[in-house]
Structure 1
Amino acid sequence: MKNIDHWIGGARVAPGSGAYFDDLNPVDDSLYAMVAAGTSDDVNSAVEAGVAAFRMHRNLPAAVREGWMFKAAEIMERDVAKFQEVLIDEVGSPVAKAGFETRFAIGFLRAAAGVPRRVRGETIPSDTPGRFSMSLRQAVGVVAGITPFNVPLIKGIKQSAMALATGNAFVLLPSEAAPRLADLLADLWREAGVPDGLFNIVYGNGAEIGDALTGHANVAAITFTGSSRVGKHIAGIAARNLKKYTLELGGKSPLIVCADADLEKAVGAALFSIFMFQGQVCMGASRIYVERSIFDDFAKAFAAAASKAKMGDLREPTTMLGPIISERQRDRVRSHVDDARAKGAEVLAGAEWTGNCCSATVLRGVTADMTVYYEETFGPVTSLYPFDTLEEAIELANDTEYGLSASIFTRDLDKALRFAHEAESGMVHINAPTLHDEPHVPFGGTKASGFGREGTEADLEIMTEWKWVTIQSATANPSGH
């Protein structure tokens, strides 16, 4: 156990209130760390440190920022075991998932190393004789980032690396359930050479201090990953204050299995799509639609595979299911399953608990009056539904307020492409799981699943601002006569 203080201006700073909160290991809810409980004054200190550092370092060459990314990747490779240990003990990541997070983060840092040299504009023809016209991209200033508990390293690296690579300062408000991972990021960026004040962290309850950060007059852009409810609230703050923002929110992602699909591959992909990290993933395939002629065969094979999904030692490579993050979230998972059962749904596999771990749960016969039909469970729970035509499958897939990720398994290219075009989703994967991400892609969703996109290309839209510059020749007549 350790105490974790804010990281402001290149130093660890105790909370102004003197208060700390408990960070628990979700395996047994034992105390893992004591964490600074931030106040609005702490937020203000972090933002102002970012403002001062941005003004001091805004003209650093691209090569310097590029160097931070390469160095950070080297450090993370060296310390990969340390990052994985925290992911396992702080948020209950099975080691396979912790390994995926560290590999992705390292890859993202290397991809972000190319960003500083891509912050460029263009020359533009001018209607005025003798006038040279060009556009520039410039850093916006201070970027605020709010990250979730489920992939704290991926999101922490995505947000901070892009802000720093584009020349901004960054203030991070991490999930209350993943502060120690954020503390590692402070050490990472410091060792990588990032000047004091360009990377800052304030810990605390987002419901109490989130508005102080996102609404701060000197925060120019916001990048948030979390629930749709909070995302809509942040969007309102950003709109009122004319701030740039991106939101990566919840999901109720559909996976379609057509009769001509490779059944074994579809079962394996569905298993990964919903039970990786015990279903605490926004892209989780919590709705699986199977063509009626193969529905029973798929249900039998999938339920059998789900019943073999291993719970247990998080450091064992074959373990798939770890603990649900908190008692509040465990109650949500239980209530969704209990409500479905009480209203007539059949449990094909799972719905059993071992300590804080829920077994891989597969439901059949779920109807629209059940909570689990529309709401995101954010746990290892999925429902199977039959369909007769592709048109019906598309209609069912789109019958949700969410639109993050979708997947279809078929050997028919026409069906696959039709689904890709008609699915109301920010991402569509053909013959692949609903879970996938890469550093350079436009990652994000539609409807209640988000606003804007993340990625080394897409993030330029909120991390930089366009500026138009003209130069008039001293010898030319700007009137054109």
Structure 2
Amino acid sequence: MKTDFSKIYINGEWITGSSDSQMRNTNPFTGEELAITQAADKNDLDAAYKAAAEAQVSWAKELPQTKRAVIEKAQEVMLENKELIVDWLIKEAGSTFIKATVEFGASINILKEAATFPYRMEGKILPSQQAGKENRVYRNPLGVIGIISPWNFPLHLAIRSIAPAIATGNAVVIKPATDTPITGGLLFASIFEAAGLPKGLLNVVVGRGSEIGDDIVKHPTPRLISFTGSTPVGKRIGELAGGALKKTALELGGNNNFIVLNDANIDQAVDSALFGKFYHQGQICMAINRIFVHEDIYDEFAEQFIARAGKIKFGNPAEQDTQVGPLINRDQVDRILKDIDATVEQGAKLRLGGNADGNVLEPTVLTGVTNEMPLAENEIFGPVAILIPFKTDEEVIDMANAYPFGLSGAVHSSNIDRGTNIAHQIETGMIHVNDQSVNDEAHMPFGGEKESGLGRFNGEWVLEEFTTLKWLSVQHQRRQYGAFVDNTKE
């Protein structure tokens, strides 16, 4: 595998970007410079899309075993280079060793699932209302897919689009987030190059959003844009794509609920809440944002949660027992500190943490929070937990659904029927009873409702997203058209 990531990757070649600007990649914990990449400009993007379109024509016709073999070889390459990839996730994305290892495993699972797709491009034969006619339905690749990958789980959230796209006969052009150009893009160029993927099918353009961000969507070549990131950016992409009648697969922001009913097992609920809130510093679209606790058990839950959150080890992500590492950049830290201050000013109590050292924000807990305070209204995306009391099931359902997001969530109750009944009433794409909100399995549908996105990733659902259907009918015997045909002709 190539490990020099100073260049972009177009049509199977590592080339210097044509932009005048450079992308400086730094370690969010140490500030160390990791790489400098000459950025791509619009001409590079155009070359990438043209290479993808040309290569895709023959790739779509390749035998299924050929496509599967490339995906399986990519698995082998990744497993052989696991230590290298995990190290890059730690130093580029600020991942703890624990998180990087889990992310690597999730990425391998995506490849395993995608390896089955070439044999799942099935169609149908259906009856017709016309005599002597046969209706056929074929499943075909879309063509070229544009992928914009995020910085929080760059490896996993890029591969969940790359692998299914390639496996279903598409070509891809990837623009990784500016904070993670390697783990969200250039690593995959190296992986699939080593796996023997034909030239042009995977292209990586590292560039600034201000320079090529709109054009990766507006370019006439891609048939679908896959984006994971914030809701405001997702809306912009949706507008640009909709104007050109392109499909989109958008996984956007969340304000995820964690509901603890008065009959819940408190120890179990605390376990779940700690993981769902502080895993990867809370920088996960599915991370818990609001923890609702019934007033009957609020104090007991809060004391247990605060005591255990205070024992979480935070700091250097390269130390294998660190549980909370740095946020991706200082802007994120400052944004969250501002919301903490504003929430405290409105009456909440800061019970733990609230301090930052560089990009490391220590685990923080606030109690006495209401559903209207800034930390409840905004997606936190950091290691800050807020505990909101409620009185009735009806009240917590109303509070949970108060905001225009619906990605993931969780409900804790010793009564499965009660918990499930509430889960049904939460407006969200995913929800888990007696677990936490951060769940992702390669064969299960992943996606949100309302302003949390469009479409679904994973399993048969991403196969639907990344393909199109064609109706082809065959008239086996002469059809009679009645009055529209002159039947007097001999």
Give the alignment's TM-score, normalised by structure 1. 0.97
- The match for 1:164 is 166
User: How far apart in 2 are the matches of 1:158 and 1:141?
Assistant: 17
Kept after mapping to 2: 8 A contact 1:128/1:479: no
Where does residue 130 of structure 1 map in the other structure? 132
Q: Which moved more, 1:361-370 or 1:156-165?
A: 361-370
Query: Residue 322 of structure 1: SS of its match in structure 2?
Result: coil
**SS of 1:383's equivalent?**
strand
Alignment of 1:189-208 (within 5 A): 189-208=192-211
1:257-297 per-position Cα deviation (integer Å, ceiling 9, x unaligned): 11221111111110110111111111111100111111000
1:421 aligns with 2:406: no
Residue 458 of structure 2 aligns to a residue whose secondary structure is: coil
Structure 1 Cα separation of the partners of residues 136 and 370 of structure 2: 57
**In the alignment, residue 320 of structure 1 is paired with which amino acid?**
Q
Q: Secondary structure at the match of 2:52?
A: helix
1:478 paired residue number:
479
2:271 corresponds to 1:268: yes
How many Å apart are 1:127 and its aligned residue? Answer: 1.2
Tell me, in whole angstroms, the C-alpha distance in 2 between the residues paired with 1:286 and 1:57: 43
Pair 1:32-2:34 in alignment: yes
Check conservation: 1:129, 1:480, Cα contact below 8 A: no
Number of matched pairs = 479
Say if 2:459 is the partner of 1:447: no
One-letter amino acid matched to 1:393: V
By how many angstroms is 1:246 displaced?
Answer: 0.8
C-alpha RMSD of matched pairs (Å): 1.4
Equivalent runs, 1:377-392 vs 2, <5 Å: 377-392=380-395
334-343 or 109-118: which moved more? 334-343
Distance (whole Å) between structure 1 residues aligned to residue 426 and residue 372 of structure 2: 24
Q: Distance in 1 between matches of 2:157 and 2:10?
A: 20
CA shift for structure 1 position 82: 0.8
Q: How far apart are residue 417 of structure 1 and its match?
A: 1.7
One-letter identity of the residue aligned with 2:100? A
- Measure, in 1, the Cα distance between the counterparts of 2:407 and 2:5: 37
Alignment check: 8 A CA contact 2:370 2:388 kept: no
Separation of aligned partners in 1, 2:391 and 2:344: 25
Aligned letter for 1:99?
T
- The equivalent position to 1:174 in structure 2, one of 170, 173, 176, is 176
Q: Distance in 2 between matches of 1:351 and 1:19?
A: 36
The 3-state SS of whatever aligns with 2:313 is coil
Amino acid at match of 2:479: P
**1:369, 1:262 → 2: CA distance?**
27
- Structure 1 residues without counterparts, runs of 5 or longer: none
The code of the aligned residue for 1:362 comes to V
- Post-superposition offset of 1:81: 0.7
Q: What residue number does 2:283 align with? A: 280
Whether 1:152 and 2:154 are equivalent positions in the alignment is yes
Question: 1:366 Cα deviation (Å)?
Answer: 2.3
Q: Which residue of 2 aligns with 1:457?
A: 460
Post-superposition shift, 1:342?
A: 2.3
Match of 1:395 in 2: 398
Shift of 1:420: 2.0
1:206 to partner: Cα distance: 2.1
Which residue number in structure 1 is paired with residue 486 of structure 2? none
Deviation at 1:97, TM superposition (A): 0.2
Paired letter, 1:309: I
Specify which of 212, 230, 237 is matched with residue 209 of structure 1: 212
Residue 442 of structure 2 aligns to which amino acid in structure 1? P
Paired residue for 2:347, among 338, 344, 363? 344
Give yes or no for contact 2:254–2:379 (8 Å, CA) kept in 1: yes
> Normalized against structure 2, the TM-score is what?
0.95
In 2: Cα distance, 1:119 partner to 1:332 partner:
45
**1:16 corresponding residue in structure 2:** 18
> Secondary structure at 1:254's aligned position in 2?
strand
Residue type matched to 1:51 in 2?
A: A
Residues 307-364 of structure 1: CA deviation (Å, up to 9, x unaligned): 1111133233321111111121111111111111222210111112233211111111
**1:187 aligns to what?**
190
Flag structure 2 segments of 5+ consecutive residues without an equivalent: 483-490
Aligned to 2:330: 327
Counterpart position of 1:103: 105
Deviation at 1:375, TM superposition (A): 0.8
Instruction: Give the Å deviation of 1:30.
Output: 2.2
Counterpart contact for 1:225–1:248, Cα < 8 Å: yes
Q: Determine the C-alpha separation between the residues in 2 that align with 1:374 and 1:258.
A: 22
Paired amino acid for 2:421: R
Structure 1 stretches of 4+ moved >6 Å: none
Instruction: Give the distance between the partners of 1:124 and 1:279, measured in 2 at CA.
Output: 49
Q: Does the alignment pair 1:85 with 2:61? A: no
Tell me the amino acid that sits aligned with residue 109 of structure 1.
Answer: L
